[in-house]
Amino acid sequence: MPELPEVETVVRDLSAAGLPGRRIVNVHVAWQRTVGGDGAAFVRMAAGRIIESIGRRGKWIVMPVGGPTLLAHLRMSGRLYLRAPDESPTGYERTTLALDDGRLLDFYDPRKFGRLVVTERPESILEPLGPEPLDERTTHEVLAQRLRRSRRAVKTQLLDQTVIAGLGNIYVDEALFDAGINPTRPGTSLDDRETERLHASIRLVLERGIANLGTSLGTGKSNFVLPGARGAAGGSTGARNQESLQVFRRTGEPCPRCGTPIVRIIIGQRATHLCPLCQPG
């Protein structure tokens, strides 16, 4: 589920909710694979640690815990949820960290694809990642240089976290539409004008996604929900970027720019949405 804007929203929300400074007083692993298969090892590494801060690198949530680092990746259906002491669990809590203020930090994840890692060497996970798209140092020249290293489809390149970090299926389709670039184009075929425009479009869709507190699709329980938003107690209005999507999951609807029906194709086994007129191959 979550891409950069959703992960950024989670990080900001948990930070505002006072997670930094809390000590992990107890750890319960309900699904071993969530923590890499060895629940006991995870408990030994995490229990008693103080969460010093919470940040983000690509789609990874990064929490230094006094020596080692606690990393979380939400994959398709994961959430980090700060639960009040009197609030009952849902049954989808794959790992729960009990905090010293009585609250519980749930790694909630129906599909069980997400991962929680405690490691002394976070760089082994974070170093292979490409640059942050919203970092000022990630210029359009940097993007162009990285995209031109391969002939793969530009969509495939943008989904590759070692090329650029944080983009997923939604924001890639939206950025390519905004830039007017066909997702099947080889990375090597993009000229300077196109990479400059794509760079601006990536920044635009991500910044808008963050401003809108992320994207939530569908109506079911598996949507992206802000931590603390469950039960509507936090006063949080929740993700609303879905209203800003121009092409993603809008197959057959008129292109907002030219009215041509939006088309759905498959690239690298991923559903891809585009306007055949505004994004000519």
Binding of DNA by 254 (CB under 7 A): no
Of the candidate residues 95, 96, 138, 156, the single one contacting DNA (CB under 7 A): 156
224 binds DNA (CB under 7 A): yes
- Choose the binding region for DNA from 41-49, 81-89, 107-115, 227-235 (rule: CB under 7 A): 107-115
Task: Rule CB under 7 A: say whether 73 interacts with DNA.
Answer: yes
Q: Is 2 a catalytic residue?
A: yes
What the block records as the tokens of 129 is: 């990642």
Sequence-ordered strand ranges (E) for 49-184: 55-57, 60-64, 69-73, 79-83, 93-99, 104-108, 115-119
Taking residue 86's Cβ as centre, other Cβ atoms within 10 Å add up to 6
Q: Where are the alpha helices (DSSP H) in 35-85?
A: 39-46
Sheet architecture: strand order including 79-83 = 24-29, 93-99, 104-108, 79-83
Determine which one of 2, 5, 122, 133 is catalytic: 2
Among 182, 212, 216, 279, binds DNA (CB under 7 A): 216
Is 59 considered catalytic here? yes
Q: Which of 279, 281, 261 is nearest to 178 (CA)?
A: 279
Cβ-based nearer residue to DNA, 268 or 280:
268
Tell me how far, at minimum, the Cβ of 150 lies from DNA, in Å.
Answer: 3
Q: Which is nearer to DNA, 41 or 271 (CB)?
A: 271
Q: Which of 195, 215, 246, 279 binds DNA (CB under 7 A)?
A: 215
Residue with Cβ nearer DNA (44 or 221): 221
How far is residue 50's CA from residue 96's CA, in Å, rounded to a whole number? 15
270 is catalytic: yes
- Edge-first strand order for the sheet with 69-73 is 55-57, 60-64, 69-73, 115-119
Instruction: Note whether 121 binds DNA by CB under 7 A.
Output: no
Write down the catalytic residue from 56, 59, 185, 197: 59
Tell me, yes or no, if 112 is annotated catalytic. Answer: no
- Residue 6 engages DNA in binding (rule: CB under 7 A): yes
Distance between CA 228 and CA 154 in Å, rounded? Answer: 37
Can you tell me the distance from the alpha carbon of 11 to that of 20, in angstroms, rounded to the nearest whole number? 11
Q: Does 1 bind DNA (CB under 7 A)?
A: yes
Label residues 227-240 b or e (16+ Cβ within 10 Å = b): bbbbeeeeebebbe
- With CB under 7 A as the contact rule, which of the stretches 45-53, 98-106, 144-152, 252-260 interacts with DNA? 144-152
Contact 194, 175 (CB under 8 A): no
* 168 is an interface residue for DNA by CB under 7 A: yes
State which of residues 22, 49, 59, 83 lies at the interface with DNA (CB under 7 A). Answer: 59
Q: How far is the CB of 74 from DNA (least distance, A)?
A: 8
Identify the burial level of 99 via C-beta atoms within 10 angstroms of its C-beta, where 0-12 means exposed, 13-18 middle and 19 or more buried.
buried
Residues labelled as active-site residues: 2-3, 59, 270
Q: Residues interacting with DNA, by CB under 7 A?
A: 1-3, 6, 33, 58-59, 73, 75-76, 92, 110-113, 150-153, 156, 159, 161, 168-170, 214-224, 239, 267-271
